[in-house]
């Protein structure tokens, strides 16, 4: 109930029209109640008297009322349609927008289909409820009440019968309501599971086909589908009692009125006209009463839908600007790109043990640090901390001396550019996919970072690396006038320019799920181009070349060296060739950094590192053998 009430501000914004529509609803039902009254009066009066001319005036009234009623029906539906259609998409926008900013950790806890079923099925249920159910839910009892008063005014006994009929109705509702609500919640949740399952079975289709496991997937689906059917049947069964009662009770009231009425006529204390009027009113009241079954079901489903909607809307953002909000276009300044991890710990929200502990790292401006570690040691988790996709659970990370959490989130994400291990391309052109990595991709002209940045860079890089000298030479790289030039530069670096040129529409080729399918290696290179475009200050590369062949890898690495010279880079490496790109390598072992040094130093002194790089004596010997 409360969750439905929370839509009040939207209703209030359109309250004038909504109330007018409600009046029309009530009017069109109430007006129709007048007709039997007048009809009864015509039958009792002019017709009984044989006065044909006398019935014309009230008949004209009936005609007018009939036209008005039809107009009211038309106008009500006409007016409500755009309002509720608008509400549905407005609520979906809010849900979508909330979810876009909710932290990744919170997202992971929600199966995809549960979010989708809330955004689609639940909201269309709510649209129907606000357009129809709610209006009638309020109007019907009023109409029934009005009918009851008319009955009472016709004769007090009729009033007593009406009250007597209300008691079992209310009782039935009270008994059935809870059962229906539980079934409807389970059904709607199962619908979410079905959406999840369908999405997985389509996204995992290659796996299912490769193993011939479509029958297995179908069995899984059938279990869910069967469960949904069970809940829907429970709903139908509860419905059957509600509808049955809604038919039975008014009929019994009608019988009582007929009995009492005829008794009254026999006794001479009631007229036939009175009885006919009472019967007509009761017949008329059957419609709103019979609707109670439907309305109640609709209402309960809507309560469930609203609950499910607000559950998502109430999710915390978790990762925000320092003020708890998320501002869209924070003003960026110039940054040196000095990254420091200080006693960082990270633990997944629902895990007992932290996956990363005591991480201390200092990455100087312009320095490239490779992170090397075995599968599952938390490298990706560590990388996700820099753009604050996850927040540290203890310790702190600073950028240029300021805690990451003290930056506005989108400001930080402008500074930190990422290429993920699983490259995600959006359904749009190649150009837009790559250009979105550009700092001023949002159309904002940023001051060319060149001189200011390099000035800071040289001053702060006390731990000066061999590459810091190149920083100054790059100023002005961003002021190219051809907007595509930067995209092509980035594509060249990622060795993607050749294949992009061969695409059917070049840069304008639509890729992503709705576009052309690219190979894993191609997607990875586009994602890399997106990360390196515009020479980002801080670059995070998560195993950026895993799906790329050796030749291409070689080309990319040569080109990458130029970019890495300017950017502060954290690169996750599984291969010696990638590690060799770095100025320094940190070894991640059991959630801690156990050693740092240059690739060669580590190869020389760290046995675990040699293992990870495949350069242990055993492996080397093996390789030698093949060589000979």
Partner 1 sequence: MSPAQPDRANDPEIEELPPDISRRARRLLGSLIRPHLTLAVVLIVSITGGGIMSVAGPFFVARAIDEGLPAALDGDTSPLVVAIAAVALTGVADAAATWLSIRLNGRLSQKILFDLRGRLFTHVQRLDLRYHERSTSGRLVSRQTSDMESVQQFVSQALNGMVLSLLTMSAIAVTLVVMNVPLALVAFAGFIPLVFLTVYAHRQQRSAYRRTRTSIARVIVQFVETMGGIRAVQSFRRQRPGLARLTGEDAVYAQANTDALHGVATFAGGTRLIGNLSQTGIILLGGWLVISGYTQLGVLAAFLLYLRRFYGPLDELVQSFSLYQSASAALEKITAVLDAEPDVDAPADPQPLPERHTGTGRSISFDDVSFAYDSEGPEVLPAFDLEIPAGQIVAVVGATGAGKSTLVKLLTRMYDPSTGTVRLDGVDVRGIDDAQLRQSLVMVTQESYLFSGTIADNIRIGNPDATDAQVLAAAEAVGLDPYVRSLPEGYDTDVKKRGGRLSSGQRQLVSFARVFLADPDVIVLDEATAHLDIPSERLIQQALARVLEGRTAIIIAHRLSTVEIADRVLVMDAGRVVEDGTPAALIHGDSRFGRMYSAWQDSLA
Shortest separation between residue 592's beta carbon and partner 1, angstroms: 16
Among 225, 398, 465, 594, binds partner 1 (CB under 8 A): 225
| Residue 160 engages partner 1 in binding (rule: CB under 8 A) | no
- Span 440-459, contacts to partner 1 by CB under 8 A: 441-443
| Residue 295 engages partner 1 in binding (rule: CB under 8 A) | no
| Residue 292 engages partner 1 in binding (rule: CB under 8 A) | no
Of 390, 378, 447, the C-alpha closest to 416 is: 390
| Residue 566 engages partner 1 in binding (rule: CB under 8 A) | no
Stretch that binds partner 1, among 5-13, 18-26, 77-85, 154-162 (CB under 8 A): 77-85
Stretch that binds partner 1, among 146-154, 223-231, 339-347, 562-570 (CB under 8 A): 223-231
d(CA 487, CA 431): 7
Of 526, 529, 599, the C-alpha closest to 560 is: 529
> At 417, is the secondary structure helix, strand, or coil?
strand
Nearer to partner 1, 284 or 488 (CB): 284
Shortest separation between residue 469's beta carbon and partner 1, angstroms: 25
Nearer to partner 1, 262 or 451 (CB): 262
Residue pair 212/130 in contact (Cβ under 8 Å)? The answer is no
Which residue reads 């007709």 in tokens? 35
| Residue 57 engages partner 1 in binding (rule: CB under 8 A) | no
Stretch that binds partner 1, among 6-14, 88-96, 134-142, 150-158 (CB under 8 A): 88-96
- Span 607-626, contacts to partner 1 by CB under 8 A: 611-615, 619, 622-623, 626
Stretch that binds partner 1, among 134-142, 172-180, 197-205, 463-471 (CB under 8 A): 197-205
Shortest separation between residue 321's beta carbon and partner 1, angstroms: 13
Among 543, 560, 563, 570, binds partner 1 (CB under 8 A): 543
Shortest separation between residue 481's beta carbon and partner 1, angstroms: 17
| Residue 171 engages partner 1 in binding (rule: CB under 8 A) | no
| Residue 595 engages partner 1 in binding (rule: CB under 8 A) | no
Stretch that binds partner 1, among 19-27, 332-340, 395-403, 435-443 (CB under 8 A): 435-443
Q: Tell me the Cα Rg of the chain.
A: 36
567 half-sphere exposure, CB direction, 13 A CA radius = 24
Residue pair 553/584 in contact (Cβ under 8 Å)? The answer is no
> At 155, is the secondary structure helix, strand, or coil?
coil
d(CA 287, CA 273): 22
Of 290, 296, 288, the C-alpha closest to 235 is: 296
d(CA 309, CA 608): 50
Shortest separation between residue 68's beta carbon and partner 1, angstroms: 9
- Span 247-276, contacts to partner 1 by CB under 8 A: 247-248, 251-252, 254-255, 258-259, 262, 265-266, 272, 275-276
Residue 171 sits at the vertex; the CA angle it makes with 143 and 288, to the nearest 5 degrees, is 20
CA dihedral 11, 17, 23, 25 (to 10 degrees): -80
Among 271, 576, 598, 601, binds partner 1 (CB under 8 A): 576
d(CA 340, CA 359): 10
| Residue 201 engages partner 1 in binding (rule: CB under 8 A) | yes
- Span 367-386, contacts to partner 1 by CB under 8 A: 373-376, 379-380, 384
d(CA 149, CA 163): 10
Of 525, 117, 43, 574, the C-alpha closest to 311 is: 117
Residue pair 526/433 in contact (Cβ under 8 Å)? The answer is yes
d(CA 450, CA 476): 6
* Strand 592-597 with 394-399, pairing: unpaired
| Residue 240 engages partner 1 in binding (rule: CB under 8 A) | yes
Among 179, 340, 413, 561, binds partner 1 (CB under 8 A): 413
| Residue 517 engages partner 1 in binding (rule: CB under 8 A) | yes
């Amino acid at each position: 109930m409360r969750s439905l009430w929370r839509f009040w501000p939207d209703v209030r914004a359109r309250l004038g029209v909504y109330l007018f529509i409600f009046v029309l609803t009530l009017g069109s039902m109430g007006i129709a109640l007048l007709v039997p009254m007048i009809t009864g009066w015509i039958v009792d009066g002019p017709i009984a008297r044989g006065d044909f001319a006398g019935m014309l005036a009230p008949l004209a009234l009936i005609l007018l009322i009939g036209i008005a009623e039809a107009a009211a029906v038309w106008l009500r539906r006409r007016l409500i349609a755009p309002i509720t259609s608008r509400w549905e998409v407005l609520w979906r926008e809010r849900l979508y927008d909330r979810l876009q900013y909710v932290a990744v950790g919170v997202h992971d806890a929600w199966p995809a289909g549960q979010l989708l079923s809330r955004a689609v099925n639940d909201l269309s249920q709510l649209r129907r409820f606000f357009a129809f159910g709610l209006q009638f839910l309020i109007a019907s009892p009023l109409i029934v009440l009005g009918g009851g008063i008319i009955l009472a005014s016709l004769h007090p006994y009729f009033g007593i019968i009406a009250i007597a009929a209300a008691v079992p109705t209310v009782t039935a509702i009270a008994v059935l309501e809870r059962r229906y609500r539980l079934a409807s919640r389970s059904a709607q949740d199962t619908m979410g599971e079905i959406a999840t399952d369908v999405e997985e079975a389509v996204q995992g289709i290659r796996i299912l086909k490769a193993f011939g496991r479509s029958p297995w997937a179908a069995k899984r689906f059938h279990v869910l589908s069967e469960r949904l059917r069970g809940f829907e049947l429970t709903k139908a069964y509860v419905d059957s009692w509600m509808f049955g009662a809604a038919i039975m009770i008014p009929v019994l009231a009608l019988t009582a009125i007929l009995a009492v009425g005829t008794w009254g006529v026999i006794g001479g204390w009631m007229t036939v006209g009175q009885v006919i009027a009472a019967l007509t009113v009761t017949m008329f009241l059957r419609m709103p009463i019979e609707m109670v079954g439907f309305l109640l079901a609709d209402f309960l489903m809507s309560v469930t839908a609203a609950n499910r909607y607000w559950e998502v809307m109430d999710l915390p953002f978790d990762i925000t600007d320092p003020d708890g909000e998320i501002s869209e276009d924070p003003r960026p300044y110039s940054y040196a790109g000095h990254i420091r991890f200080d006693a960082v710990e990270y633990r997944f929200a629902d895990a007992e043990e932290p996956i990363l502990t005591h991480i201390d790292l200092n990455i100087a401006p312009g320095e490239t640090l490779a992170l090397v570690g075995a599968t599952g040691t938390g490298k990706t988790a560590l990388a996700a901390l820099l753009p604050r996709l996850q927040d540290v659970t203890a310790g702190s990370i600073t950028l240029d001396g300021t805690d990451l959490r003290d930056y506005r989130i989108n400001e930080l994400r402008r500074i930190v550019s990422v290429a993920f291990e699983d490259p995600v391309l959006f359904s749009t052109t190649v150009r837009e996919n790559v250009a979105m990595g550009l700092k001023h991709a949002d159309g904002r002209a940023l001051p060319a970072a060149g001189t200011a940045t390099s000035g800071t860079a040289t001053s702060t890089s006390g731990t000066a690396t061999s590459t810091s000298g190149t920083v100054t030479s790059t100023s002005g790289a961003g002021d190219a006038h051809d907007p595509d030039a930067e995209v092509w530069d980035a594509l060249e670096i990622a060795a993607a320019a050749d294949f992009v040129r061969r695409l059917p529409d070049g840069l304008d080729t639509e890729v992503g799920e709705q576009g052309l399918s690219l190979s894993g290696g191609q997607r990875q290179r586009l994602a890399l181009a997106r990360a390196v475009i515009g020479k980002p200050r801080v670059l995070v590369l998560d195993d950026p070349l895993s799906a790329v062949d050796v030749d291409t890898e070689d080309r990319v690495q040569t080109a990458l060296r130029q970019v890495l010279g300017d950017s502060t880079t954290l690169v996750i490496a599984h291969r010696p060739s990638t590690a060799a790109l770095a100025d320094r390598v940190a070894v991640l072992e059991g959630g801690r950094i156990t050693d740092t040094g240059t690739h060669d130093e580590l190869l020389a002194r760290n046995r675990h590192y040699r293992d990870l790089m495949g350069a242990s004596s055993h492996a080397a010997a093996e390789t030698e053998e093949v060589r000979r």
